A = this chain, B = another copy of it.
Amino acid sequence: MNFQLVLDQINAELRPLLGQQGQVARYIPALARVSPQQFGIALRTCAGEVAQAGDSAVPFSIQSVSKVFSLTLAIKALGEALWTRIGREPSGSPFNSLVQLETERGIPRNPFINAGAIAVADRLVTLGDGKAELLALLSRLCGEPVAIDAEVAQSEADTGFRNTALANFMKGFGTLDNDIATVLDVYFNQCAIAMTCEQLACAAGYLCRDGRHPLAGTPVLSPAQARRVNALMLTCGTYDAAGEFAFRIGLPCKSGVGGGIIAVVPDHLTLCVWSPALDATGNSLLGRQALELFVAKTGLSVF
């Protein structure tokens, strides 16, 4: 299949729609300033073929897309033991809700809602220097140095009242072992990592290759672990629209409020699309449409 042609077509179809609908995330100034007039898409196949279109080389704030990689570090280090403090079910509630956390005694529903990602960050703090290890993992996975946008990280910290509430709430239930400020520092910084579509399409490559490093071929996760990360992405990866993504797109995806979405076609390829304007569910509006077009044009879907 001529993937470059497919991505060019998608870019040509969607670019005219830029700026017509959706809204850039406004909760921190550094994100609110990003121009909505941007759209990028990139993929990398298991065989190493690459394709890209639009603003695929522009770095953006990966935000919650980082949760896939912090989870990967935690699974790699802890295996099944990770799941004593974090669930694996869709939440049926907004990504930053405290309600379920209260009725379920401080155990977050899954690692992709904010509470769950903060609990994962706590595990990384116990294991070592979570922030440095996450950057190192991402740099190795895409073969290029990856950095944190310090302004975004600071803004996250300055306005992160809801996340601080979640962390304190879990600490009260005993879900977190470490100092809240240290755990949140990891979390706010991971959200502030900046990467391009091309980098993320490469970095996520182990998820379509049974856990093997996209460049080196060495194991990042076991095949079963990689499949399970994909399963979590499909059931919980796109906030309260996971059912809709499964229904319309049918691929494991993880989105972030920076407008990025990564998607996995197991045994075929990984894909990253980015466009900053979000829909009401917090997912990139054109990103979602791009994935629908991709599936329609290629017939690739897990179902």
User: What string of 1s and 0s marks CB contacts (under 8 Å) between A238-257 and chain B?
Assistant: 00111110111010100000
* Given known A92-B90, A161-B169, A168-B161, contact A235–B243 (CB-CB < 8 A): yes
Q: Is the CB of B252 within 8 A of A303?
A: yes
* A286 beta carbon closer than 8 Å to chain B: no
Question: Can you list 23 residue pairs at the A/B interface with Cβ under 8 Å?
Answer: A87-B243, A88-B243, A88-B244, A89-B92, A89-B242, A89-B244, A90-B90, A97-B102, A98-B165, A161-B168, A161-B169, A165-B168, A165-B172, A168-B168, A226-B303, A228-B250, A230-B303, A231-B246, A231-B250, A234-B234, A236-B243, A266-B302, A302-B303
What residue of chain B has the Cβ atom nearest to residue A162's Cβ? B172
Least CB distance from A234 to B in Å reads: 6
Chain B hits for A88, CB < 8 A: 243-244, 247
* A132 beta carbon closer than 8 Å to chain B: no
* A85 beta carbon closer than 8 Å to chain B: no
Cα(A250)–Cα(B88), bound, Å: 13
Q: Select which of B161, B169, B244 is within 8 A of A162 by beta carbon.
A: B169
* Apart from A98-B98, A231-B250, A235-B242, 18 more pairs, CB < 8 Å: A88-B243, A88-B244, A89-B92, A89-B242, A89-B243, A90-B90, A90-B242, A92-B92, A98-B102, A98-B165, A99-B103, A162-B172, A165-B172, A228-B247, A231-B246, A231-B303, A234-B246, A235-B246
Copies of this protein in the assembly total 4
What residue of chain B has the Cβ atom nearest to residue A296's Cβ? B224
Question: Chain A: how many interface residues by the 8 Å CB criterion?
Answer: 49
Residues of chain A having any CB pair with chain B under 8 Å: 87-93, 97-100, 102-103, 109-110, 161-162, 164-169, 171-172, 180, 226-228, 230-232, 234-236, 240-244, 246-248, 250, 252, 266, 301-303
Least CB distance from A291 to B in Å reads: 13
Cα(A141)–Cα(B164), bound, Å: 38
Chain B hits for A235, CB < 8 A: 90, 234-235, 242-243, 246-247
What residue of chain B has the Cβ atom nearest to residue A252's Cβ? B303
Q: Select which of B165, B241, B302 is within 8 A of A302 by beta carbon.
A: B302
Cα(A291)–Cα(B30), bound, Å: 48
Chain B hits for A99, CB < 8 A: 98-99, 102-103
* Given known A169-B162, A172-B165, contact A303–B243 (CB-CB < 8 A): no
